[in-house]
Amino acid sequence: MNAIKVLVTNQKGGVGKSTISANLAAYLAIQNNVQVNLIDFDRQLSSSKWVSKAPDIGLQVHQAHLSYEDTGSLVLAEAKRCLHKFSVGCEISISDLTWTYAMSPEFLLEYDVILVPSATTKFEMASSEIFILQYIQKYLNQIKNVGQEILVVPSRVDKKFQPEQTFLNLQGIDQCSVAPPIFLIPAIDDFVYEDFLCVSTNAEVAKNFSTFGEYVARLIAEKIMTKKAFNESHHAIKRASNISVLDKHRIEQKRERDRSANPFSGWVPDFLIKK
């Protein structure tokens, strides 16, 4: 089965996108004991640097160097090539990408789950909502067909954060939901490159990120089950189809053998034919 592909993206910088990418990959690898690949599409390579400097937990890190000076079709083709190449041999593939409109939004359709980290100021929320709504408006049918899920991730928020009062323009959209928030970490520099948040010595930090990670992990598990069910159904239909064709062939062969063994089996004497 192909890897479940998760994209962490937003057109805004400074929303914790790389932090979420690296630490979500680590959480899934540690807590779910699965092979996770991290694909870093960003020029700063922040998420891949975090993974490379933190304790080795077996994550495979790939850096995809895109040239946005190329035309849109070339950027899209290269991004797809990198995604497919670097997603081989793993169960979950996580991509870190700062969105740019030099990239075609068609690229978003390559993913099973899209995470959009966002601050919760009015301006930041409006920007994130517009980004998501424009994408859904253009590709709604394709999104439904592939069963894609879009999660808004309230990032670096105060502990008094109330999710029911945010991202109101996305409410009622079946493909969209709001993930558990990731709280602001005042001393974030104490954690960067040192270790992963889900195993932090700070129990509050570890619990907060693990709550978020568990939510995403459940969603991914549902995707895996759905894909397995689809594949099994597809193979069952194919097997049934093959059996039917084979049985038909065998019946035809038997008829040929019967005709050859008794060439008069279809002949009726004249005196039995009603006149």
Evaluate whether residue 235 is within a structural domain: no
- Over residues 4-45, the pLDDT tens digits come to 999 999 998 889 999 999 999 999 999 989 999 999 999 999
The band of 273, judged by pLDDT with boundaries at 50, 70 and 90, is: very low
Answer yes or no: is 249 within a domain: no
The CATH number covering residue 112 comes to 3.40.50.300
| Position with higher pLDDT, 242 vs 18 | 18
pLDDT band for position 69 (cuts 50, 70, 90): confident
d(CA 124, CA 134): 16
Does a structural domain hold residue 236? no
Read off the tokens for 148. Answer: 């894609």
pLDDT tens track for 170-188: 999 999 999 999 999 888 8
Phi and psi at residue 157, to the nearest 5°: -100, 160
d(Cα 95, Cα 86) in Å, to the nearest integer? Answer: 10
Give the pLDDT of residue 245: 61
List the structure tokens of 58.
């077996």
In 10 A of CB 120, how many CB atoms?
20
- Domain assignment of residue 52, given as a range: 4-230
17 vs 94: CA distance, rounded Å:
12
Single pTM value for the model = 0.84
Percent of the chain with pLDDT over 90: 68
Q: Residue 193 — very low, low, confident or very high, per pLDDT cuts 50/70/90?
A: confident
pLDDT (tens digit per residue) in 208-232: 999 999 999 999 999 999 888 866 6
For residue 118, give the nearest of 30, 49, 17 by alpha carbon: 17
The alpha helices in 147-273, defined as continuous H runs, are: 203-261
Cα(193)–Cα(106) distance, rounded to whole angstroms? 33
Cα separation, 115 vs 122, in Å, equals 19
Query: What 3-state DSSP class applies to 150?
Result: strand
- The CA distance from 144 to 174, in Å, is 9
Confidence at residue 228, expressed as pLDDT on a 0 to 100 scale: 81
Total number of domains in the chain = 1
Is residue 124 in some structural domain? yes
Q: Is residue 274 part of a domain?
A: no
